[in-house]
Structure 1
Amino acid sequence: MRKLRHTALLLWLVFVLAAAAITARTHYVADLSAFLPRDPSAEQAVLLDQLQSGVASRLVLVGIDGGSAEQRAQASLRLGQALRASGSFDAVHNGDNSSLADTAQFLFAHRYLLSPGVDAERFTAEGLRGGIDETTSLLGTPAGSLIKPILLRDPTGETLRMAESMLPAQAPRSEAGVWVSRDGTRAVLLATTHAGGSDLDGQERALALVRSSFAPDAAAGLQLQVSGAGSFAVASRAQIKSEVERLALAGGVIVVGLLLLSFGGSLRTLFTALMPVSTGVLAGIAAVSLVFGNVHGITLGFGTTLIGEAVDYAIYYLIQARAGGGPLWLRASWPTVRLGLWTSLCGFAALLFSGFPGLAQLGLFSIAGLAGAALTTRFVLTTIAPEGAPGMGLRRHLGRAVAAAMPVLQRLRWPLAALAVAAALALAWMPSPWRGDLAALSPVGDEKMALDAALRADLGASDPGVVVAVSAADEAGVLRAAEAAGQRLDRLVADGQLAGYTSPARILPSPAVQQARRDALPAADALRTRLQEATADGPIAAARLQPFLDDVAQARTQPLLTRATLDGTALAAAFDALTVPGNGERPWRGMLTLNQGQRALDQAALRAAFADMPQVQIVDITGELRGMYARYLHEAGVQAGFGALALCLVLLAHLRSWARLWRIAQAVGAAALIVIAALALAGVELGILHLVGLLLTVAIGSNYALFFDQLRADQEAQPIDHDMLASLALANVTAATSFFLLALSDIPTLNALGQVVAPGIVLCLLLSAAFIPTRQATRRV
């Protein structure tokens, strides 16, 4: 037996060291993509791509405030140059075009492949005459200074048409060579990080580079404002980490203080009581890390809740084993603790089958953590503390308080039952309180959201409400699909239903379109003849247009352009912003973003325009997020229901009594109903984490109900002593304290857990004492 105990200790030590090593190497994430479906629909897949690797997840919006206009402009120029030189950004835009010379040269050299005006009609004598007349008519306009240097090489104005098709529908205001806000009081920049949206470490390094590059100007009195999806994700991760550490510290101090008071100040007992907690947290993190490859910040925050439940196992043992030692506790109380563990595992096991990785993480973390804590109590604590914990301390008073309260609570059984019924009726009568949204999972505050909206408005980079997405097997296919979709959108623009749109095919036409444009270029002799006819009596003599003839002749032999040929130009980043390359598991996708203008978008007309194009998805971003969260919440509710059913079946198989099952379910169910009704009446919008809080309430509260059921079943054979009641009370106080701290958290996810679990488990203890009546407790000596 002694050898078995030593073996158990050795295995536990090896497990803790291995779990600690995995925890230290774990990658922690905070983006909301973990809370999107594992098997998304076509529309959801588009949204998931954008959240994980799309340009929207890589945009950094920068504002420079303070100082004079000249100071802000110079700071913007310096910052832009530093970020471009760093290699950490695919694109940096701030109105400074000095770095775009290579891009301009590329566009001019390939204008006959890229210009939407190039077709066979353009190079007839009539088409040439019209093009030349239109171009020369612009010489007296502000665009004349750009046209004049290239007029003899591009008399038909293909460069201008190409530029017009590529310009964004909304461009920021420009002053002193840089972009500024609408009121001119802020310089603005827009950068695209090289790191993907899901690479939070890379995003954090890029943001740190922005701040360090601006540091000299900050010392001069200018202020830097940074926003964007990456900024939110990095800030959320830091906030979650800081909050988790703060709550864990505060909760640990309070729990340690309660344990010291309860165990007469014994440090050895304190260390023993905390062993299941630490083991459980390490087991949870290690399990999630091994299965999912990372641990979400919300899951990590959820780990702090394990302090409240895992310490219960140690309290049950250390107090209850004092009377008869470890062997007696294993015979009398371990079966109840084990049954409570099984009921908890049933509740959380349902989450493992969720289609949402974030929810599955919470389920796995809970299962591994609770199992680790319970097994540590069973095999380690019984070995190192075979006689339980010495001393009485606070336990004497807790036991007496519960013993005195039990008769009172039992007399209030019917009023408490009436309160539970009233809570159920209130929930049935009121509109459903389950209406939270996905944004509720993010700790980003209103102030940060307001800054983000202001910077987007200044940059003309407002979030697209609806995106037209096309998919195909390869790059050429997605460009063809984008061109076909663009033709449908052109009709809506012509009808005034859209102000415009952007498309990857406007930056890089499909190979078929490029080939058609190249084929439209006439041979040198034919072009010379037509040009002579077109320029007769015109503003430019044909003899002066030999550079034009040479360029067309060269363009007839140019190779077709692909995405690879855009490297080294600003076009590459612009193209990548509107496409997501495919791989073996997903197709290529292209995004056509819409400019609604002043009119509300008629989504019905938009969908009707693409009804016969299955390769096109209309993605209503806000609607999809709302729909996904509704599905997420519904799925979690169904899984929680199955978990509750499994819990009841496990209890029934063990108790073999419908009456005992009813008393336990009545106590736990009534507590859940009262808490949810109270939150609903207070106007709280309930979401997914409130539902997870209910699961946790049931997991912890069922343990109290099971012990009261054990007391009722054993009361004829042996008296009920105060130590048993003291263990329940102390476990409840420590757990409720931990969750009450979560209710004070600024992070919505942790706050939601605390709101439900803190009052819920207190009610579970009180209602268990009321609905599972026992005779008055007597102190065992």
Structure 2
Amino acid sequence: MMLMARQWTKTQLWSIRATWLVLALVASLYCAWRFMGPSPLETNLLALLPATEADPVAEKAVDTLADALGDRTVFLVTSKDADHAKAAARQFGAALQKSGAFAAVTAELPPFDMSQIGALYMPYRFNLLTREDRDALANHTASLHDALMQRIYNPVRGPLATQLADDPSGWLEHWLSALPLATSNLDLEDNMLVAHRGDTTSVLVVTTLPGSAYETQTQRAVLSAVAQAQSSLKTGHPDASVARTGAVFYAESARSASEREVHLIGVASACGIALLMLWVFRSPRLLLLGFVSTALGIVCALAATLLVFGKLHLLTLVFGASLIGEAVDYSIQYFVVYLGAGPGQRGGWNARQGARSVRAALSVALATSLLGYAILAWVPFPALKQIACFAIVGISTAFASVLWLLPVLLVKGPKRAQRRLFLRAATLLARWHGTIGGRRAWIVAGVLVLIAIPGWLRLASDDDIHLLIQRDPDLVAQEDQVRNAIGVDNTAQFFVVRGASQELVLQRAEALGVKLDALSGARSVNGWQSVTQFVPSAQRQADARATLAQHVFNDPAALRSMLLQAGFRDEVADAWLASYAKSNGAPLTVERWLAAPWSQPYRHLWLGRVDARGGHGYAAIVMPQRVTSQNVTALIDTARSLEGVAFVDKAASVSKLFGAYRVDSGIWLAGALLLVLILLMARYTASGGIATTLPVLLAIGVTLAAFGYAGVPLNLFNCLALMLVLGVGANYAVFLREGCLRDHADLGAVWTGVLLSAATTLLSFGMLAFSAMPALKSFGATLALGILVSVLLAPIGMPPGRRRVA
């Protein structure tokens, strides 16, 4: 009766099983529903990065540029024969258009009436002067009469030529010719954009995507269309080659690589763990139950992450596949208690009592692991926050399933126990503990510290942003080919100009342009692009009008006489003078320019109304054409010399943040170690807590020394992985010590469980060391080494006088 009182009734058993079944179904159905619609996978690499700028205006600028370029793909069709290149480009563009994978495909430019550009500026022509014309008029360095005569008899006219009657001196034509409409090496030939380099001719084909470049369906449709178009091109024009670039290709490459790694890491670690558990437990049933507990943890973690964040980063997906090794640890500890029960207890196996016997060890282990992941949640990296959420939910669910699900599935005792294996494990543990445990622990610690010191002194760091991402080398090479042909260095470095009003933003952007033009030599930027090149500030327009009023229209009678002497008819001269008199000097506005359809390729230069810390304001972007290591310091100094101007370098900002958090992570790690020590001291007394913490502390030190000796620079991800070494590695000493504290515990079974737990964790997290993602590679290498050392030193934490075999 007493035994039955400790057991569950059949109703309770089925109620608990049904509850877990409902939880599994709800989580699984939610995940399936999310993946049946638009893919929740986040393949936008910028989404992995934190907000790094001082105010949200700079972040909006980064997002604006990403959006402006994200829906475009660019192809470069190249051949040594110019006619073949153009024909191939037409065929390639037609194939892409026919595929239906693109919203628009442009191989041949549609006829465009350049007069539309002149029509926008014509009403404001008396407010627009180039710097050269303004200086010439103000300084009297050019004769107005000579300008009129040159205008009349100059046979060379550009595509933005103005009518002689509307622009007698050509000032508007000069201003239109200075517009940065074409800042590349491309020429317009046969309505196509063509670049000639050496003996090759390249033709540009530009497409627009129908949806986001980061949607899986869009990526697959684009890749299929491009593959078919290239295949047909090889048949019709075998001498033509195609280079491509665009966010959609990088996103698809990252997604495919991550999916391959998920399959590799997930399958390899699952198979390895399954073989190990079968070898140790010799029970397919226990193997199945172990994976049931792990699967519950992973599916609940996936559902919770999608529910909280809406999207799933690729980094989180790959990391989640490696969580199998840690989640299965808890079930392993329960199984060794199950199999470690004495032969006489087979008929009297009490599942509830078994769960109670491992509850303390699993609770302490869970607390240390959660501490490591909780620190990740505080780091302002979206991907790391997701990883923390995924791991916390996953291992918490696995923990709960071990205590409340496995006991109701393992009601009957084991048919046989691994007595021989456990006996060997106990003998090995006794010998190893005799070597490194007890009073010798401090000698071992001292020796390890002495060996590690030179390695610590050799430690270096590398905080490069590219540690976060891995770009396909083939795509990078093709992108470089496209950039070299076009002649545009498309960098992620630019200026953000802010102000309380539109006028103030335009004035500050103009002041910035003057300073950029003044840079020379290696410090120069080879030009820049700004909204002020299309819409001058009202002040500059007023200055231009004032210059004309003072030096041209100050004597209308003399000006009329000059026009007539130059050969202008009376009605033309009178009409031009009348148009100036009727104009009220109202300036051209940004809104008026934005409303023009042809301004679309340049609209990203104007951010418009923004919310800043000081309230509402306006902002614009100024894009330098060339940013190098030689001139970046000058650009930063230029921005600092002007109020409301900031130089934005996303890569440098994130790298700087990497470095700052790498340094801070040392403080976090020390604080986490202190918390773990306090937790273990409260559980095992002061000396016991120190002894149980010592193995993982030494593991962290040895891992750092190994990186120093190997010459591998530390980065943020190495340091954050040390948090997980602390959280996971501390479990092994805890499991051993708790086994020593349990009555009738078989230390051989406990040590077997510890070694098996470490092996499964190494199989999963260690696989990350083979990831193509540098961040995950750093994670995996650090975790593998730290966990290996942690488990080898775990017997140091055993209390003295407890080496009983069974």
Q: TM-score range by the shorter chain?
A: 0.7 to 0.9
Q: Do the aligned residues in 2 keep the contact of 1:320 with 1:388 (CA within 8 Å)?
A: no
Query: 1: distance between equivalents of 2:413 and 2:617?
Result: 62
Residue-by-residue CA offset, 1:626-678 (whole Å, 9 max, x unaligned): 212212433444434433333222222222x1211222221112122222322
Query: 1: distance between equivalents of 2:429 and 2:539?
Result: 83
The residue type paired with residue 476 of structure 2 is M
Q: 1:76 aligns with which of 56, 70, 89?
A: 89
Residue-by-residue CA offset, 1:537-569 (whole Å, 9 max, x unaligned): 436656667886798789769994444654563
Percent identity between matched residues is 22
Q: Are 2:278 and 1:260 aligned?
A: yes
Query: 2: distance between equivalents of 1:351 and 1:62?
Result: 41
Q: Are 2:764 and 1:738 aligned?
A: yes
Q: Do the aligned residues in 1 keep the contact of 2:740 with 2:747 (CA within 8 Å)?
A: no
Q: Counterpart in 2 of 1:50? A: 62
The Cα shift of 1:88 comes to 9.3
Q: Do the aligned residues in 2 keep the contact of 1:236 with 1:444 (CA within 8 Å)?
A: yes
After superposition, residues 82-481 of structure 1 pair within 5 angstroms as 96=109, 98-99=111-112, 101=114, 103-104=116-117, 106=119, 109=122, 112=125, 115-117=128-130, 129-136=145-152, 138-139=154-155, 143-144=156-157, 146=159, 150-157=163-170, 158-167=172-181, 169-172=183-186, 177-180=192-195, 182-183=197-198, 185=200, 187=202, 189=204, 191=206, 199-200=214-215, 204=219, 207-208=222-223, 211=226, 214-215=229-230, 216-217=232-233, 220=236, 221=238, 222-266=240-284, 268-322=285-339, 323=341, 324-387=349-412, 390-391=415-416, 396-397=420-421, 400-401=424-425, 403-404=427-428, 406-408=430-432, 410-412=434-436, 416-418=444-446, 420-422=448-450, 424-430=452-458, 432-464=459-491, 466-472=493-499, 478-481=505-508
Q: Are 2:776 and 1:747 aligned?
A: no
Query: 2: distance between equivalents of 1:556 and 1:209?
Result: 57
Alpha-carbon spacing, 1:342–1:105, altered in 2? closer, same or farther (3 Å): same
Residue-by-residue CA offset, 1:516-546 (whole Å, 9 max, x unaligned): 7679888x99998565333354366566678
Q: Are 2:641 and 1:633 aligned?
A: no
The residue type paired with residue 10 of structure 1 is A
Alpha-carbon spacing, 1:597–1:742, altered in 2? closer, same or farther (3 Å): closer
After superposition, residues 684-695 of structure 1 pair within 5 angstroms as 684-695=712-723
Residue-by-residue CA offset, 1:557-606 (whole Å, 9 max, x unaligned): 99944446545633222232x233445578543221224599942735x5
Q: Do the aligned residues in 1 keep the contact of 2:124 with 2:587 (CA within 8 Å)?
A: no
Alpha-carbon spacing, 1:16–1:474, altered in 2? closer, same or farther (3 Å): farther
Q: Do the aligned residues in 1 keep the contact of 2:493 with 2:650 (CA within 8 Å)?
A: yes
Query: 1: distance between equivalents of 2:224 and 2:539?
Result: 42
Q: Determine helix, strand or coil for the equivalent of 1:144.
A: coil
The Cα shift of 1:309 comes to 0.4
Q: Counterpart in 1 of 2:4? A: none
Query: 1: distance between equivalents of 2:94 and 2:583?
Result: 34
Alpha-carbon spacing, 1:744–1:602, altered in 2? closer, same or farther (3 Å): closer
After superposition, residues 546-585 of structure 1 pair within 5 angstroms as 560-563=588-591, 566-567=594-595, 569-576=597-604, 578-583=605-610
The Cα shift of 1:235 comes to 1.9
Give 5+ residue unaligned stretches, structure 1: none
Q: 2:533 aligns with which of 495, 498, 506?
A: 506
Q: Counterpart in 1 of 2:798? A: 772
Q: 1:18 aligns with which of 23, 26, 34?
A: 26
Residue-by-residue CA offset, 1:415-464 (whole Å, 9 max, x unaligned): 7535531354134311x333232211112144433333332222222143
After superposition, the CA RMSD in angstroms is: 4.3
Report the TM-score when normalising by structure 1.
Answer: 0.85
Query: 2: distance between equivalents of 1:81 and 1:105?
Result: 32
Query: 2: distance between equivalents of 1:132 and 1:6?
Result: 99
Query: 2: distance between equivalents of 1:209 and 1:517?
Result: 54
Q: Counterpart in 1 of 2:3? A: none
The residue type paired with residue 603 of structure 1 is T
The Cα shift of 1:110 comes to 5.8
Q: Determine helix, strand or coil for the equivalent of 2:301.
A: helix
Q: Do the aligned residues in 2 keep the contact of 1:79 with 1:213 (CA within 8 Å)?
A: no
Q: Do the aligned residues in 2 keep the contact of 1:172 with 1:180 (CA within 8 Å)?
A: yes
Query: 2: distance between equivalents of 1:93 and 1:205?
Result: 21
After superposition, residues 697-708 of structure 1 pair within 5 angstroms as 697-708=725-736
Q: Do the aligned residues in 2 keep the contact of 1:398 with 1:729 (CA within 8 Å)?
A: no
Alpha-carbon spacing, 1:662–1:602, altered in 2? closer, same or farther (3 Å): closer
The Cα shift of 1:298 comes to 0.8
Query: 2: distance between equivalents of 1:223 and 1:567?
Result: 39
Alpha-carbon spacing, 1:12–1:530, altered in 2? closer, same or farther (3 Å): farther
Residue-by-residue CA offset, 1:470-529 (whole Å, 9 max, x unaligned): 02356555334323433443444799855422111112334565577679888x999985
Query: 1: distance between equivalents of 2:521 and 2:169?
Result: 24
After superposition, residues 678-689 of structure 1 pair within 5 angstroms as 678-689=706-717
Query: 1: distance between equivalents of 2:467 and 2:71?
Result: 22
Query: 1: distance between equivalents of 2:146 and 2:520?
Result: 25
Q: Do the aligned residues in 2 keep the contact of 1:433 with 1:686 (CA within 8 Å)?
A: yes
Query: 1: distance between equivalents of 2:597 and 2:153?
Result: 31
Q: Counterpart in 2 of 1:652? A: 681
Query: 2: distance between equivalents of 1:106 and 1:84?
Result: 32
The Cα shift of 1:371 comes to 0.6
Query: 2: distance between equivalents of 1:259 and 1:537?
Result: 103
The residue type paired with residue 87 of structure 2 is Q
The Cα shift of 1:250 comes to 2.1
Give 5+ residue unaligned stretches, structure 2: 1-7, 342-348
Aligned length: 768
Query: 1: distance between equivalents of 2:216 and 2:488?
Result: 25
Q: Determine helix, strand or coil for the equivalent of 2:264.
A: helix
Residue-by-residue CA offset, 1:611-636 (whole Å, 9 max, x unaligned): 46431112345532321221243344
Report the TM-score when normalising by structure 2.
Answer: 0.82
Q: 1:667 aligns with which of 684, 695, 706?
A: 695
Q: Determine helix, strand or coil for the equivalent of 1:253.
A: helix
The residue type paired with residue 219 of structure 2 is E
The Cα shift of 1:181 comes to 6.0
